[in-house]
Amino acid sequence: MAIAGLLLAWQLYAELSGISPTTLPSPWRVAQQAWIHKTALYDNALPTVRATLFGFACSLMTAFLLSILMDFSRPLRRALFPVFIISQTLPLVAIAPLVVLWFGFGLVPKIMLVALVTFFPMLVALVQGYEATEKEIAQLLQSMGASRWRVFWLARLPSALPFFFAGLRISITYAVVGAIFAEYAGAAKGLGIYILNAKNNFRPDLVLAAVGVSATLTLVLFGITVLVQRLAMPWHRFEREQAR
Amino acid sequence: MSGMRLQLEDIRKNFGETAVLDGVSLHVREGEFVSILGPSGAGKSTLFQLLTGAEHADGGAISVNGASVSGQNRDLAFMPQRDALMPWRSILDNVTLWLEVQGMTRKAARAKVTPLLGEFGLAGFENHYPAQLSGGMRQRAALLRTVVQERSLLLLDEPFGALDALTRTSMQRWLEVMWKRHRWTALLITHDVREAVFLSDRIYVLSARPARVLHEFQIPLPRPRDGSAKGLQEASAIEAAVLETLLIREQAGGPHP
Ligand SMILES: Nc1ncnc2c1ncn2[C@@H]1O[C@H](COP(=O)(O)OP(=O)(O)O)[C@@H](O)[C@H]1O
Ligand SMILES: [Mg+2]
C-alpha cells in the first residue's frame, strides 16, 4: 500500500513537473524500459544472485562454526570479538576495490565481500542466543548427567534459534547490496556493473530498473528466511499467541 | 542408619562475599515427604544446586543412600523452579529427555513413556508444545519428566509456585495421591505454608539469608489428606505454628538488605 502510494506520487510528479526523463524518469517509463531490456537485466542479475548466495552460504557456515568455538571458549570469544567489530567498521567503498585488486574480477572477491557484510550480525545473534538459554534448563540437563556438548546441542542451540533468525533477516538485507558493491568495483557482469554502465550512458531509467531488480531480490530472500523460520520453529507461533 | 535417602550435615555456601547457607543440616528417609520452607531468596534453590552438583558446597557433607556424593550422575531426579520445559520440544519429547540423555533412541523412549501419560493427565497432548498447555498441565509434564528417571529421591523446587490458587490446590491433592501410590521419596521446596503442611511428613523451616534451620515440624496428620473438616482444623493449627516461627524469626532478624 505504502509502496503503491509512493509510486503514484512519483509518477504524478514526473509527469506534471515537466522534469526531463533523463533526470527523473517516471516509474512507468522505468517499467517499460525494464521490459525492453529484460534479457540484459536477467543476464546481469544472475551473477549477482550467485555471488549473494555463495557469499551468504560461506558467511553462514563460518559464523556457525566460529560461534560454537566461541561458546565453548571464553578466551577465544574475548580475543575474536574486537577483531570482528573492527571488520564491521571498515568502509566498504575502500575495501571493495582492494579486494578486487587482490583477487581479480571473478567470483571470489564478491563472495568475500558479501561474507564480510553478512557475517557479523549472524555471529552476534548466535553468540547472544546461546547465552539466552534458560538457566534452569541447563541445570536440569546437568543434573541428568548430560555432557557439555549435549547441553549445547539439546539446549543452547535451540535456544539461539529466534536470535539467529533475527540476525539472518538483518544479514540478508545487506547481502545483495554487498554483492552489487563488489561488482561496482570491478566485474565482467552483474547488476553492479550494469548500474555503472547505465549511469555512464545517462540512462537513469535503467539504473532504476536495476535497482528495482535488486530490491526484488532482497525481498525474495527475506521472504525465504521468514518461511524457513516458520518451518524450523513451528512452536514459535504458539508462544506468540500465548504472549498476547 | 538404614532407609536414609539423603543426609545433609552442616552445609555452608557463599557466593563471593554473600553467605547463603550457614550450616544447614537435614535428612530424608525412604518414602518420606519432606518440605523445606523459607522466605524467598533464603537459599533454598541453592541447596538443590549443591545436591545436583551444579555448585559445590564450601563446607559440610552430603550423602545420598548412605554414600557421600561426588561428581555427576547422582541418584536423584531434579525438577527445577519454573517448569523448565523446552519450548521447542513436544510434551512427549520433553518427558523423554532423560531417557534420551541416557542414550535411548527417541523411538524407544517414546514407547516407554507413552503409557504413563494418562495418569499424568497428558494423554492426547503428547504432540502439543508446552506453550499450548495450561500451567497445571505443564507442571504435570515437568513432574513426569522427573519421575521417569526412577531415582530414589525427587527434588521438587517450588513446583506449583506459578499456578493460580485453585489449580495449585488441585495439583497438591493430585501430588499427594501420586506420591502415596508410587511410594516416592520427595524433598519439596516451597514458600507456601499451607502447601508444606498439606503435603509433608516433616517440614524444615529455614531462616532468611544466610539460611539456617530454624525449626523442624512433624506433621502427624492422617493420610489421605482429602480435606475433611477435622483434618482441616488440625492442619490450620499446625499452619499457625509454622507461620509464627517464620514471622517471629523474621522480625528478630530485623529487615534484610
Ligand atoms: N550463582 C549465583 N551467584 C551469586 N549469587 C547467587 C547465585 N545463585 C543464587 N545467588 C544468591 O543466593 C541467594 C539465594 O538464592 P536462591 O537459593 O535462589 O533463593 P530461594 O530461597 O528463593 O530459592 C540470593 O540472594 C541469590 O541472589
Ligand atoms: Mg528458589
- Give the chain A residue nearest B82 (alpha carbons): A136
pLDDT single digits (tens) B194-240: 999 999 999 999 999 899 999 999 999 888 887 777 778 888 889 99
The answer to the question of residue B36 being in a domain is yes
Output Rg (C-alpha) for chain A, integer angstroms: 22
Pairing of strands B59-64, B67-68: antiparallel
Cβ(B228) – ligand 1 distance below 6 Å:
no
Domain A45-233, CATH number (from 2.40.50.100, 3.40.50.2300, 1.10.3720.10, 3.40.1030.10): 1.10.3720.10
Whole-angstrom distance, CA of residue A24 vs CA of residue A41 = 20
The mean per-residue pLDDT over the stretch A4-30 comes to 83
CATH number (domain holding residue B45)? 3.40.50.300
Judged against a pLDDT cut of 80, whether residue A12 lies above it is answered with yes
pLDDT single digits (tens) B169-201: 988 998 999 899 888 999 999 989 999 999 999
User: What's the pLDDT at A100?
Assistant: 83
Q: Could you give the number of structural domains in chain B?
A: 1
**Nearest residue (CA) to ligand 1, atom 17:** B43
DSSP assignment string, B137-204: HHHHHHHHHHHTT--S-EEEESTTTTS-HHHHHHHHHHHHHHHHHHT--EEEEES-HHHHHHH-SEEE
User: What's the pLDDT at B199?
Assistant: 93
The answer to the question of residue B156 being in a domain is no
User: What's the pLDDT at B209?
Assistant: 87
Judged against a pLDDT cut of 90, whether residue A116 lies above it is answered with no
Q: Which domain holds residue B39?
A: 1-75+187-257
**Nearest residue (CA) to ligand 1, atom 7:** B15
Closest ligand 1 atom number to CA of residue B206: 21
Q: Is this structure's pTM higher than 0.90?
A: no
Range 79-108 of B in CB contact (< 8 A) with A: 80-82, 84, 86-88, 97-98, 100-102
Candidates B195, B121, B210; CA nearest to B158 is B195
Q: Where residue B141 falls among pLDDT bands split at 50, 70, 90?
A: very high
pLDDT single digits (tens) A147-196: 999 999 999 999 999 999 999 998 998 899 889 988 888 878 888 888 88
The answer to the question of residue B224 being in a domain is yes
Closest ligand 1 atom number to CA of residue B39: 21
Q: Is the ipTM of this complex over 0.90?
A: no
Decide: helix, strand or coil at residue B73.
coil
User: What's the pLDDT at B71?
Assistant: 60
